[in-house]
A and B are shown apart, each in its own frame.
With several copies, the nearest count.
Chain A
Amino acid sequence: MDFHFSNEDKKTLKEVRSFIKAETTPELIAETHKLGHIYGGKEGRRFIRKFASNGWLTPNWPEEYGGLGRSAVLNAAIREEMAYASVPVVFVAAHMAGPVIMHFGSDEMKKEWLLQIARGEIEFSLGYTEPQAGSDLSALDIRAVLKGDRFIVSGQKSFNTASHVADYHWLAALTDPDAKRYHGMSLMIADLKSPGIDIRPMTTMAGWQTNEVFYNDVEVPGKNLVGEINHGFFYLMSALDYERMYPLAAYEKVFDMIVKYAKETITGGQPVSKNPIVRQKLAQIKIQLEANRLLYYRLAHMVDHGQIPNYQASMQKLFATETAQLITNTGMEILGPYSQMKEGSKHAVLSGQMENYYRTSVVETIYAGTSEIQRNIIALRGLKLPSK
Chain B
Amino acid sequence: MNYDFTSEQNILKESAHKLLAKECTGQHVREMAEDEQGFSLELWEQMAELGWMSLLIPEKYEGSGVNFFDLSIFLSEMGYHCLPGPFFSTVVSGGLALLEAGSDAQKGKILPDISNGRCKISLAWMEEEGRYSPEGIKLGARKKNGHFILSGKKLFVPDAHVSDIIICAARTSDDLKSITLFLAETKAKGIRIQLLDTMAGDKQCEVLFDHVEIPEENILGELDRGWPILKKVLLKSAVAKCAEMSGGAEKVMDLVIPYVKGRKQFGRPIGAFQSVQHQCANMLTYIETMKYLMYQAAWRIDKGFSFEKEASICKAWASDSYRKLVALGHQVIGGVGFMEEYDLQLYFKRAKAAEQLFGDADFHREWVARGMF
Bound Cα distance A302, B194 (Å): 51
Q: Are A379 and B280 interface neighbours, CB within 8 A?
A: yes
Greatest chain B CB density within 10 A among A3, A280, A297 is at A3
Give every chain A residue within 8 A of B133 (Cβ-Cβ): 268
Nearest to A271 among chain B residues (CB) is B373
Q: A3-B299, A134-B335, A370-B331 are in contact. Are A342 and B198 (CB under 8 A)?
A: yes
Give every chain A residue within 8 A of B43 (Cβ-Cβ): none
Greatest chain B CB density within 10 A among A283, A302, A344, A345 is at A283
Nearest to A365 among chain B residues (CB) is B331
Q: Are B2 and A290 interface neighbours, CB within 8 A?
A: no
Interface string of A321-355 (1 = CB under 8 A from B): 00001000100110011111110111110000001
Q: Are B277 and A268 interface neighbours, CB within 8 A?
A: no
Q: Are A283 and B356 interface neighbours, CB within 8 A?
A: no
Interface string of B114-155 (1 = CB under 8 A from A): 000000000000100111010110000000000000000001
Bound Cα distance A267, B156 (Å): 17
How far, in Å, is B17 (CB) from chain A's closest CB? 19
Give every chain B residue within 8 A of A375 (Cβ-Cβ): 275, 277-278, 281-282
Q: Are A294 and B293 interface neighbours, CB within 8 A?
A: yes
**B105 contacts chain A at the CB level, 8 A cutoff:** no
Which of B21-29, B219-227, B263-271 touches A? B263-271
Q: Are B368 and A294 interface neighbours, CB within 8 A?
A: no
Which of B86-94, B163-171, B283-291 touches A? B283-291
**A383 contacts chain B at the CB level, 8 A cutoff:** yes
Interface string of A71-99 (1 = CB under 8 A from B): 00100000000000000000000000000
**B365 contacts chain A at the CB level, 8 A cutoff:** yes
Bound Cα distance A181, B339 (Å): 29
Query: Using a CB-CB cutoff of 8 Å, which residues 336-373 of chain B contact chain A?
Result: 336, 338-342, 345, 348-349, 352-353, 356, 360, 362, 365-366, 368-369, 372-373
Q: Are A318 and B285 interface neighbours, CB within 8 A?
A: yes
Q: Are B1 and A358 interface neighbours, CB within 8 A?
A: no
Which of B178-186, B232-240, B310-318 touches A? B310-318
Give every chain A residue within 8 A of B131 (Cβ-Cβ): 267-268
Q: A2-B2, A375-B278, A382-B281 are in contact. Are A355 and B199 (CB under 8 A)?
A: yes
Nearest to B289 among chain A residues (CB) is A291
**B304 contacts chain A at the CB level, 8 A cutoff:** no
Q: Are B272 and A283 interface neighbours, CB within 8 A?
A: no
Interface string of B166-208 (1 = CB under 8 A from A): 0000000000000000000000000000101111100010100
Interface string of B300-315 (1 = CB under 8 A from A): 1000000000100100
Q: Are B156 and A1 interface neighbours, CB within 8 A?
A: no
Give every chain B residue within 8 A of A365 (Cβ-Cβ): 331
Q: Are B372 and A286 interface neighbours, CB within 8 A?
A: yes
**B257 contacts chain A at the CB level, 8 A cutoff:** yes
Chain A residues with a Cβ closer than 8 Å to the other chain, count: 95
Give every chain B residue within 8 A of A207 (Cβ-Cβ): 340
Size bracket of the B interface: 35 or more
Nearest to B283 among chain A residues (CB) is A383
Nearest to A209 among chain B residues (CB) is B340
Q: Are B277 and A376 interface neighbours, CB within 8 A?
A: yes
Q: Are A205 and B155 interface neighbours, CB within 8 A?
A: no
Nearest to A273 among chain B residues (CB) is B373
Q: Are B265 and A134 interface neighbours, CB within 8 A?
A: yes
**A194 contacts chain B at the CB level, 8 A cutoff:** no
Q: A273-B373, A340-B352 are in contact. Are A362 and B338 (CB under 8 A)?
A: yes
Q: Are B196 and A135 interface neighbours, CB within 8 A?
A: no
Bound Cα distance A370, B336 (Å): 13
Nearest to B324 among chain A residues (CB) is A329
How far, in Å, is B85 (CB) from chain A's closest CB? 18
**A238 contacts chain B at the CB level, 8 A cutoff:** no
Give every chain A residue within 8 A of B130 (Cβ-Cβ): 267, 336-338
Greatest chain A CB density within 10 A among B198, B282, B345 is at B198
Give every chain A residue within 8 A of B299 (Cβ-Cβ): 1-3
Give every chain A residue within 8 A of B310 (Cβ-Cβ): 290
Q: Are B348 and A359 interface neighbours, CB within 8 A?
A: yes
How far, in Å, is B198 (CB) from chain A's closest CB? 5
How far, in Å, is B147 (CB) from chain A's closest CB? 29
Give every chain A residue within 8 A of B260 (Cβ-Cβ): 385
Give every chain A residue within 8 A of B323 (Cβ-Cβ): 329
Contact partner of B197 (CB less than 8 A), chosen from A129, A266, A294, A344, is A344
Q: Are B338 and A297 interface neighbours, CB within 8 A?
A: no
How far, in Å, is A79 (CB) from chain B's closest CB? 15
Give every chain B residue within 8 A of A27 (Cβ-Cβ): none
How far, in Å, is A207 (CB) from chain B's closest CB? 8
Nearest to B316 among chain A residues (CB) is A287
How far, in Å, is B371 (CB) from chain A's closest CB? 8
**A14 contacts chain B at the CB level, 8 A cutoff:** no
Q: Are A279 and B352 interface neighbours, CB within 8 A?
A: no
Q: Are B372 and A347 interface neighbours, CB within 8 A?
A: no
Q: A267-B130, A340-B204 are in contact. Are A297 and B197 (CB under 8 A)?
A: no
Give every chain B residue within 8 A of A332 (Cβ-Cβ): 352, 356
Bound Cα distance A283, B319 (Å): 14
Give every chain B residue within 8 A of A378 (Cβ-Cβ): 280-281, 284-285
Q: Are A345 and B196 interface neighbours, CB within 8 A?
A: yes
Give every chain B residue within 8 A of A139 (Cβ-Cβ): 265-266
Nearest to A312 among chain B residues (CB) is B288
Q: Are A287 and B317 interface neighbours, CB within 8 A?
A: yes
**B80 contacts chain A at the CB level, 8 A cutoff:** no
Q: Are A305 and B356 interface neighbours, CB within 8 A?
A: no
Give every chain B residue within 8 A of A290 (Cβ-Cβ): 293, 310, 313
Q: Are A337 and B372 interface neighbours, CB within 8 A?
A: no
**A7 contacts chain B at the CB level, 8 A cutoff:** no
B residues in contact (CB < 8 Å) with A: 1-5, 69, 126, 129-131, 133, 135-136, 155-156, 194, 196-200, 204, 206, 257, 260-261, 263-266, 268-269, 271-278, 280-282, 284-285, 288-289, 292-293, 295-296, 299-300, 310, 313, 316-317, 323, 327, 330-331, 334-336, 338-342, 345, 348-349, 352-353, 356, 360, 362, 365-366, 368-369, 372-373
Name 25 interchain pairs, CB-CB below 8 A, sorted by A. A1-B3, A2-B299, A134-B336, A267-B131, A280-B369, A290-B310, A291-B293, A298-B3, A300-B1, A301-B2, A315-B281, A340-B200, A341-B197, A355-B198, A359-B199, A362-B348, A366-B330, A370-B331, A376-B278, A376-B281, A378-B281, A379-B278, A383-B284, A385-B272, A385-B280
A residues in contact (CB < 8 Å) with B: 1-5, 73, 129, 132-136, 138-139, 159, 202-207, 259, 262-263, 266-268, 271, 273-274, 276-277, 279-280, 282-284, 286-288, 290-291, 294-295, 297-298, 300-302, 304-305, 311, 315, 318-319, 325, 329, 332-333, 336-342, 344-348, 355, 358-359, 362-363, 365-367, 370-372, 374-376, 378-380, 382-388
Closest 4 CB pairs of A and B: A379-B277, A345-B197, A205-B345, A279-B369
